[in-house]
């Protein structure tokens, strides 16, 4: 799929929590081509500060309206500048980048932790009307603003929080043994690496295909700089930006 360089227009920049916002962009060329699991590479600011683009998972893509929805946490200079964007501002956008999820399934289970839940929103959009179950994991109930994103499209939404302030007390792995006796034919997971590793092992024991979406700091985003590689099961190193970010779980060395 060709990469598109597009000057996108900010439609809105919505505050979700104290440190999380949702950026809505008019980026019709990229929105039309985007597939679940892919990302965009956004240039923030009009100079060389910050120097590098920011890789951001595509959480929503509406080809009819030509819009993209991006959830991000404000954690550093780049995202602080993003948080200042307002309606009508223009940003340099490259995408859609990377390999997305394989959608060949009939009864999927989606598992997301923290901001890793973002690409699963888009995935759910594309998997409907198939029966979908999802496990959403966060540290506290304040992090679980994601529920509304899945409530309409998912058959069952299972919530876990580390402190027990919402749903099951514990992490996503704690609820999986009670779910994997169902007839799932695919598991999709994105979140902290220990969680993904644990899910991959449980999926392997249950004989269920599993895809993982990896996150890594990136420089170029197009496979040239080799800054975002990961160890692969065949002894090579894979580039997360172009070979991924979505991999079959058995491809990754955990």
Radius of gyration of the chain (CA): 18
Please give the pLDDT value at position 89.
Answer: 96
Does pLDDT of 72 surpass 90?
Answer: yes
Residue scoring higher pLDDT (9 or 230) = 9
Task: Show the tokens assigned to 250.
Answer: 């058995």
Please give the CATH architecture assigned to the domain spanning 4-96: Beta Barrel (2.40)
Q: Which of the residue ranges 44-58, 90-104, 235-249 would you say has the lowest mean pLDDT?
A: 44-58
H or E element in which residue 81 lies: helix 77-83
Name the least confident of 13-27, 63-77, 144-158. Answer: 144-158
pLDDT at 191: 95
State the pLDDT at residue 122.
Answer: 97
For range 78-94, the mean pLDDT: 94
- pTM for the whole structure: 0.94
Which pLDDT score is estimated for 1?
62
Which residue's structure tokens are 């990377």?
Answer: 98
- Beta bridge partners, 186, equal 108
Query: What's the distance, CA 95 to chain centroid?
Result: 15
Percentage of the chain surpassing pLDDT 70? 98
- Mean per-residue pLDDT over the chain, rounded: 92
Rounded Cα gap, residues 96 and 2, in angstroms: 8
Start-end ranges of CATH 2.40.30.10 in the chain?
4-96
Instruction: Determine contact, residues 189/199, Cβ cutoff 8 Å.
Output: yes
Q: Look up the CATH number of domain 108-251.
A: 3.40.50.80
pLDDT at 185: 96
pLDDT at 50 over 90: no
Output the pLDDT for position 197: 96
The answer, yes or no, to whether residue 126 has pLDDT greater than 90, is: yes
At residue 22, φ and ψ (nearest 5 deg) are -120, 120
pLDDT at 134 over 80: yes
The residues, any chain, with a CB within 8 Å of residue 2's CB and separated by 6 or more, are: none
Nearest to 187 by CA among 206, 168, 165, 160: 206
Start-end ranges of CATH 3.40.50.80 in the chain? 108-251
Whole-number pLDDT of residue 47? 63
Residue whose entry in the numeric block shows the structure tokens 């007839």: 183
């Amino acid at each position: 799929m060709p990469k598109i360089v597009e000057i996108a227009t900010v439609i809105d920049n919505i505050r979700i929590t104290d440190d999380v916002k949702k950026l809505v962009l008019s980026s019709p060329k990229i929105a039309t081509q985007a597939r679940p699991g892919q990302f965009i590479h956004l240039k923030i600011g009009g100079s060389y500060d910050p120097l590098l683009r920011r890789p951001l998972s595509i959480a929503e893509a509406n080809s009819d309206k030509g819009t993209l929805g991006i959830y991000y946490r404000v954690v550093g200079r780049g995202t602080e500048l993003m948080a200042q964007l307002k309606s009508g501002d223009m940003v340099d956008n490259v995408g859609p980048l990377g390999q997305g999820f394989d959608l060949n399934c009939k009864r999927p289970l989606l598992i997301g932790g923290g901001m890793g839940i973002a690409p699963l929103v888009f995935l759910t959009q594309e998997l409907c009307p198939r029966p979908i179950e999802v496990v959403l994991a966060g540290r506290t109930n304040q992090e679980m603003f994601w529920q509304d994103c899945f409530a309409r499209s998912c058959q069952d939404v299972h919530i876990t929080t580390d402190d027990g302030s919402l749903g099951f007390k514990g992490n996503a792995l704690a609820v999986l043994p009670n779910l994997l006796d169902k007839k799932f034919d695919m598991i999709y997971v994105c979140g902290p690496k220990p969680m993904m590793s644990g899910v991959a092992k449980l999926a392997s024991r249950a004989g269920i295909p599993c895809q993982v979406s990896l996150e890594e700091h990136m420089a170029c985003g197009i496979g040239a700089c080799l800054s975002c590689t990961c160890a692969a099961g065949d002894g090579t190193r894979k580039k997360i930006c172009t070979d991924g970010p979505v991999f079959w779980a058995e491809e990754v060395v955990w």
